[in-house]
Amino acid sequence: MPTEVILPKVDMDMATGKISRWYVEEGAPVKKGDVLFEIETDKAAMEIDAPASGILRDVTGKEGIDIPVGEPVAWIYAEGEAQDRPVAAVAAPATEEPKREDTKPVQAEPMVQAQPAATAAKGEGARATPLARRLAAEAGLSLDAIAGSGPKGRVTRSDVEAIISAPAGRTEAKAPDAPRRPNGQPSASSQALPTDGAVLNHAWLRQGSGRPIVLLHGFGADLNSWRPLLQAGPVDAPVLALDLPGHGGSGRTVPADLDAIAAQVEATLAALDVGPLLLVGHSFGGAVAAAVASRGIADVRALALIAPAGLGPEINGAFLDGFVRARSEASLVPWLKLLVADEQLLSKPFVNATLAQSADSELRGVQAAIADRFFADGTQTFDIRKQLAGLRIPVRVMFGAGDRIIPSSQAFGLPGEIALHVFAATGHMPQLEQREAVLRILLEMARA
Amino acid sequence: MDQPVRELSYAQAIQEAMAIAMEQDERVFLMGEDIGVYGGAFQVTGDLVERFGADRVIDTPISELGGAGVAVGAAVTGLRPIFEFQFSDFATLAMEQIVNQAAKMRYMLGGAVSVPVVMRFPAGSGTGAAAQHSQSLEAWLGHVPGLKVIQPATPHDAKGMLLAAVADPDPVMIFEHKLLYKMKGPVPEGYYTVPIGKAEIRREGRDLTIVATSIMVHKALEAAKTLEAEGIDVEVVDLRTIRPMDTQTVIDSVKKTSRLLCVYEGVKTLGVGAEVSAAIAESDAFDFLDAPIVRLGGAETPIPYNPELEKATVPQVPDILKAARDLVSGRR
């Protein structure tokens, strides 16, 4: 009996989706777990694996059209299995057979009758542990789209985390009733709605005990960009990631200056009742982190800056321009390559994730305005050296020696008590390129 | 105030607690079958009759119902009796006094009296004493509102919880596993109490929570040691009190580990672990579970006399190892 391939629900509030691209052609052999097609919602692009091995046939889900969630889009036949689906072949005359040329979304009725066993397997709902269910819901993932490794295909925490940690392009789900704990004990992942007010979009990426680690992403990124880092090893501390204004799910505003952003970070930390913390910032987020630390409003006990902005005037202006303007894979990838020393790190899902954001013209428009304000004419118009010199907390700066966005030489000349880590053969993303080492350093700082 | 600490056996720790209680408070006295000159079936009372006299260490006839009735009555009238059952199995003979009288009197009389009686129950299997002398009936009494039911697992707790029980205004039932009596452990000198209703984390871990009671705590700790070498990091929670149960400690632990294994010697069905499981399934820890909750309890059979069969009817270390490995590896 052939295996049904359906359009999975990859986002919580998704009713339909588009197949942006098939990776396997009709009639071609496919192995279970191979990437079969790419699905696109208004928020994300995601690759879907083949649910079985065999020959791909009856591909009815055409690229670029809206298809209801749960609709069959193709079938995988076992080697040597009759090509025609039983009912379609016997009971339904050729006129009823949906043709590949159909432009309308495929209607399900012939398959539903034809495949009672296959549909039942999917239809009864995915088997998942309560924890996996909760993590998937919080990450906006559909359990149907996750292969379970537990008994009888039960989806467990590790299955969900494996998907979350892949640098995939999902945007965070917008949990309508973000749970917040008054005592500052984070729930596993709580998020505020995107807001124009002071509180920034955020997510608890890890639970744990001890000093919380708060992460501020770089220009053009969002809080999801930290997920690969956290996958590099066990994390026992609670980890909170914020979306900077004009980024991710936060309000699409162009802040006046670093202090304005710092104030929003402080308001968010206060709203979440986050106590003594380790503040971590990457690139532009590093400059924000330095500002927050020096203002003394949030209880920052240690500061980690990864390739921070604000240490010198020079920044790769061509990158900023090109990155913000890129709308297609062809125009985006060359710029992304500048981010890392090893291009292998630019996985397909990572590129797709960035591309999904690039498709959001309003988002990139706001970010272009932010770039104009903070990096006018390819120049870093702000300086964090004075703030750093005044700090009396442990500060560490990490740079990739091969950083092509902000030259690592800008890290020199800092006060002697600030520790400097320089990673060889590493670009602007040490948290991606040297994730084990960076995570180790951060956890060491959180525990100190 | 640090008190000097020595190694005492579980039985010695209980005896010391009773002696301290009697020295401190003349209302405290002991009752039970063969606890006087004979020193108790398990030699827990020992020579206390020589130190405190036959007026305060009283041998009772072989009538549990009568003895328990005297103890409850004495408590109501202002004394502080500690009543020893020769075997916990004989609680069945005294149920009227325990369940209908001791547990309810404070409530039925509108709080005009309390029943500060302590009852001690040598419990559990492993001594070849067969079906009528080897049961674990703590869940029976744990089902009765008005009673407090505790299961100390160490000499330290045996002494501290007994002294807490004597100080408690309500009836406290203490289940002492017979195989623990000879186990030694550090016990501080002098008076101290260990709170009733508070579980203790015996070992911290991240991968699996084992909630155990009484002797199963030690089996769980032994299993945890083996599992540690395999990279499985087990947290062992010693429940210590059956009623009122400290579910919060278990909830917090399960939120950390996402997996729960309950190990108890009483019959599995409707037992202490069943209650722990249900409490977790109902709690906010539910959303943290990454595997089914598993219980290891006593077999659904009277305890056999044959020593091999007897062993097979209660959870042993290899059973815990297997359940833990299955849980953590995702086989369950």
Q: Model confidence over A67-76: pLDDT tens digits?
A: 888 888 888 8
**What are the pLDDT digits (tens) for B36-56?**
999 999 999 999 999 999 999
Chain A: closest CA distance from residue B281 (Å): 10
For residues B143 and B297, what is the distance between their CA atoms, to the nearest angstrom? 17
The confidence score (pLDDT) of residue A187 equals 40
Bigger pLDDT: A237 vs B163:
B163
For residues A109 and A88, what is the distance between their CA atoms, to the nearest angstrom? 10
User: Nearest residue on chain B to A235, judged by CA atoms?
Assistant: B206
Task: With CB atoms and an 8 Å threshold, state whether B332 touches A157.
Answer: no
Among the ranges A161-165, A253-257, A360-364, B12-16, which has the highest mean pLDDT value? Answer: B12-16
Evaluate if residue A60 carries a pLDDT over 90: no
Task: With CB atoms and an 8 Å threshold, state whether A150 touches B330.
Answer: yes
The confidence score (pLDDT) of residue A125 equals 66
Q: Is A182-447 CATH 3.40.50.1820?
A: yes
Nearest to B224 by CA among B237, B214, B243: B237
User: Nearest residue on chain A to B327, judged by CA atoms?
Assistant: A150
Tell me the average pLDDT across B257-272: 97
A131: nearest CB among B206, B288, B330? B288
- Provide the pLDDT confidence category of residue A120 given band limits of 50, 70 and 90: very low
Evaluate if residue A94 carries a pLDDT over 50: no
Tell me whether B282 touches chain A (CB under 8 Å): no
Of A254-263, B3-12, B138-147, the one with minimum mean pLDDT is A254-263
Radius of gyration of the CA atoms of chain B, in A? 20
For residues B186 and B3, what is the distance between their CA atoms, to the nearest angstrom? 11
Evaluate if residue A171 carries a pLDDT over 80: no
Tell me the average pLDDT across B82-94: 98
Nearest to B71 by CA among B141, B11, B120: B120
B263: which 2 tokens? Answer: 């190990």
User: Nearest residue on chain B to A131, judged by CA atoms?
Assistant: B288
A315: which 2 tokens? Answer: 């920044």
Q: How far is CA B323 from CA A150, B238, B331, in A?
A: 15, 18, 9
Of A148-162, A167-181, B32-46, B150-164, the one with minimum mean pLDDT is A167-181
- Binding-site residues on chain A for chain B (CB distance < 8 A): 129-134, 149-151, 156-158, 188, 207, 234, 236
The confidence score (pLDDT) of residue A77 equals 85
The confidence score (pLDDT) of residue A75 equals 86
Tell me whether B287 touches chain A (CB under 8 Å): yes
Task: With CB atoms and an 8 Å threshold, state whether A129 touches B290.
Answer: yes
**What are the pLDDT digits (tens) for B61-80?**
999 999 999 999 999 999 99
- Provide the pLDDT confidence category of residue A149 given band limits of 50, 70 and 90: confident
**What are the pLDDT digits (tens) for B202-211?**
999 999 999 9
B7-186 has which fold? Answer: Rossmann fold (3.40.50)
A126-165 has which fold? Answer: Dihydrolipoamide Transferase (4.10.320)
Of A117-131, A376-390, B170-184, the one with minimum mean pLDDT is A117-131
Chain A: closest CA distance from residue B235 (Å): 15
User: Nearest residue on chain B to A209, judged by CA atoms?
Assistant: B256
Percent of chain A with pLDDT over 90: 27
Tell me whether B330 touches chain A (CB under 8 Å): yes
DSSP symbol at A428: S
Query: Choosing among A133, A143, A152, A157, which should be mutated to test the B contact, i.e. which has the most B CBs within 10 A?
Result: A157
The confidence score (pLDDT) of residue A358 equals 84
Residues paired with residue A359 on neighbouring β-strands, in sequence order: none
Evaluate if residue A288 carries a pLDDT over 80: yes
Q: Which residues of B touch A207 (CB under 8 A)?
A: 255
Evaluate if residue B223 carries a pLDDT over 90: yes
- In angstroms, how far is CA B187 from the centroid of its own chain? 18
Query: Choosing among A129, A157, A158, A189, which should be mutated to test the B contact, i.e. which has the most B CBs within 10 A?
Result: A129
Chain B: closest CA distance from residue A217 (Å): 28
- Provide the pLDDT confidence category of residue B327 given band limits of 50, 70 and 90: very high
Give the alpha-carbon dihedral of B304, B308, B314, B319, to 10 degrees.
-160
The active-site residue, picked from B16, B33, B64, B275, is: B64
Bigger pLDDT: B214 vs A413:
B214
**Which CATH code of 3.30.9.90, 3.40.50.920, 2.40.160.20, 3.30.420.40 fits the domain covering B200-329?**
3.40.50.920
The DSSP secondary structure of A180-212, one letter per residue, reads --TTS---SS--PPP-SSSPPPEEEEE--SSS-
For residues A156 and A128, what is the distance between their CA atoms, to the nearest angstrom? 6
For residues B228 and B293, what is the distance between their CA atoms, to the nearest angstrom? 21
Evaluate if residue A82 carries a pLDDT over 80: no
- Provide the pLDDT confidence category of residue A196 given band limits of 50, 70 and 90: very low
The ipTM value here is: 0.83
B291: nearest CB among A129, A133, A149? A129
What global pTM score does this model have? 0.53
B290: nearest CB among A131, A151, A234? A131
Evaluate if residue A421 carries a pLDDT over 50: yes
Bigger pLDDT: B218 vs A326:
B218
Residues 220-279 of B with CB under 8 A from A: 255, 258
Q: Is A120 exposed, middle or buried (0-12, 13-18, 19+ CB in 10 A)?
A: exposed
Of A331-345, B154-168, B226-240, the one with minimum mean pLDDT is A331-345
Q: Which residues of A touch B331 (CB under 8 A)?
A: 151
Evaluate if residue A236 carries a pLDDT over 90: no
For residues B63 and A397, what is the distance between their CA atoms, to the nearest angstrom? 78
Active-site residue flag, B310 = no
Chain B: closest CA distance from residue A390 (Å): 39
β-pair type (B200-203, B234-238):
antiparallel
- Largest Cα–Cα distance of chain B, in whole Å? 60
The confidence score (pLDDT) of residue A198 equals 67
Evaluate if residue A122 carries a pLDDT over 70: no
User: Nearest residue on chain B to A188, judged by CA atoms?
Assistant: B288
Task: With CB atoms and an 8 Å threshold, state whether A133 touches B287.
Answer: yes
Q: Which residues contact A45 (CB under 8 A, 6 or more apart)?
A: A20, A38, A39, A169, A349, A352, A353, A355, A356
Please answer whether residues A36 and A23 qualify as being in contact, where contact means their C-beta atoms are separated by less than 8 angstroms.
yes
Residue B237 main-chain phi, psi, to 5 deg: -105, 120
In this structure, the number of other CB atoms found within 10 A of the CB of residue B55 comes to 8
Evaluate if residue B239 carries a pLDDT over 60: yes
Evaluate if residue B147 carries a pLDDT over 90: yes
**Per-domain boundaries in chain B:** 7-186, 200-329
Task: With CB atoms and an 8 Å threshold, state whether A130 touches B288.
Answer: yes
The active-site residue, picked from B84, B133, B218, B310, is: B133
In this structure, the number of other CB atoms found within 10 A of the CB of residue B27 comes to 16
For residue A73, the one-letter residue type is V
**What are the pLDDT digits (tens) for A346-383?**
877 778 778 878 888 888 888 988 998 899 888 988 89
The confidence score (pLDDT) of residue B173 equals 98
B331: nearest CB among A130, A134, A151? A151
Q: Is A3-81 CATH 2.40.50.100?
A: yes
The confidence score (pLDDT) of residue B332 equals 76
* C-alpha distance across the termini of chain B, in Å: 48
Active-site residue flag, B143 = no
**Per-domain boundaries in chain A:** 3-81, 126-165, 182-447
Task: Answer left, alpha or beta for residue A277, where phi above 0 means left and psi between -120 and 50 means alpha.
Answer: beta
Tell me the average pLDDT across A162-178: 50
For residues B332 and B329, what is the distance between their CA atoms, to the nearest angstrom? 8
